[in-house]
Amino acid sequence: MAILEVKNVGKRFGGLQALGDVNLNVEENTVHAIIGPNGAGKSTLLNCLVGKLIPDTGSVMFDGQSVLGRKPFEINQMGISRVFQTPEIFGDLTVMENMLIPCFAKRDGAFRMHALETIANEQDIVAKAEEMLVDMNMIDKREMHAASMSRGDKRRLEIAMCLAQDPRLLLLDEPTAGMARADTNNTIDLLKRIKDERDITIAIIEHDMHVVFSLAERITVLAQGTPLVEDTPDKIKGHPKVREAYLGETQAA
């Protein structure tokens, strides 16, 4: 069954048709990768899935409900968590505080700045956040200010922030960008384990084909705002159209 249904989604920025007519189904409990050249429209599509952008045409349904026009915390409450291409963390706050805020917002519907001390006393939320930081090998950084973290560690923090919310659908836009290979491999292992343990669906946008072929069960190739082909990883690897779309960009596809 498709947990995410994208139908006829189009998005224009001025004279540029960033998304043409996108149709995409993401099946429940799968890892679905969306790949394609720079500027193909991958992030625009993801932003349309989480209410950050409203498409000009089409519909986006999550578990039978439209996500369009909803506020970020409403999207979280529906069970969708996301890592955007550009990190969205509070640099002045600690790693732990960044972990707690979205969990609190998801539970209570909105985040109130004055409530940080209150959140720190919410034992169930704190325990979940600590568990994720341990899983991400970041527990020793819990009091570090997020602004002083490396690019790769910021990504790892954002993934941990999402997983602590226990989402049903996890949307990741280049989650391993800037990570050392060892951290990338640990992140792949963690996502695989969580996928085995939880009722979770993952849609991942990625340029690193090592990540794509380690995780994905289904792959959609997007080119010039339109899905070019969708298939299993094995079929995608040898697909001539994929080579065309990736010419000079990756050897693995």
Ligand X SMILES: Nc1ncnc2c1ncn2[C@@H]1O[C@H](COP(=O)(O)OP(=O)(O)OP(=O)(O)O)[C@@H](O)[C@H]1O
With contacts defined by CB under 5 A, name the span among 19-27, 82-90, 139-147, 179-187 that binds Mg ion: 82-90
Quick note: the x/- pattern for ligand X over 100-139, rule CB under 6 A, is ----------------------------------------
Alpha carbons within 13 angstroms on the beta-carbon side of residue 41 total 25
Say if residue 1 is exposed, middle or buried (CB neighbours under 10 Å; 0-12, 13-18, 19+): exposed
CB of 134: closest distance to ligand X in angstroms? 31
Q: Look up residue 93 and give its DSSP letter.
A: S
- Contacts with ligand X in 54-93 (CB under 6 A)? 85
Determine the Cα–Cα distance for residues 23 and 6; give it in Å rounded to an integer.
5
What does the radius of gyration of the chain's CA atoms come to, in whole angstroms? 18
Does residue 147 belong to the site contacting ligand X (CB under 6 A)? no
Does residue 81 belong to the site contacting Mg ion (CB under 5 A)? no
- Contacts with ligand X in 6-45 (CB under 6 A)? 13, 16, 18, 36, 38-44
Assigned token pair, 92? 């002045």
Question: Which partner, Mg ion, ligand X, none, binds residue 44 by CB below 5 to 8 Å per kind?
Answer: ligand X
- Contacts with Mg ion in 11-70 (CB under 5 A)? 42-43
- CA-nearest of 84, 22, 35, 24 to 213 is 35
CA quadruple 198, 201, 205, 207: dihedral sign: positive
**Of residues 41 and 102, the one with the C-beta less far from Mg ion:** 41
Determine the Cα–Cα distance for residues 116 and 88; give it in Å rounded to an integer.
18
With contacts defined by CB under 5 A, name the span among 8-16, 55-63, 83-91, 177-185 that binds Mg ion: 83-91
Instruction: Identify residue 89 by its one-letter amino acid code.
Output: I
Determine the Cα–Cα distance for residues 179 and 153; give it in Å rounded to an integer.
7
CB of 162: closest distance to ligand X in angstroms? 19
Instruction: Identify residue 4 by its one-letter amino acid code.
Output: L
Does residue 249 belong to the site contacting ligand X (CB under 6 A)? no
Does residue 171 belong to the site contacting ligand X (CB under 6 A)? no
CB of 31: closest distance to Mg ion in angstroms? 18
Alpha carbons within 13 angstroms on the beta-carbon side of residue 39 total 6
Please report, as ranges, the residues that interact with ligand X according to CB under 6 A: 13, 16, 18, 36, 38-44, 85
Please report, as ranges, the residues that interact with Mg ion according to CB under 5 A: 42-43, 85
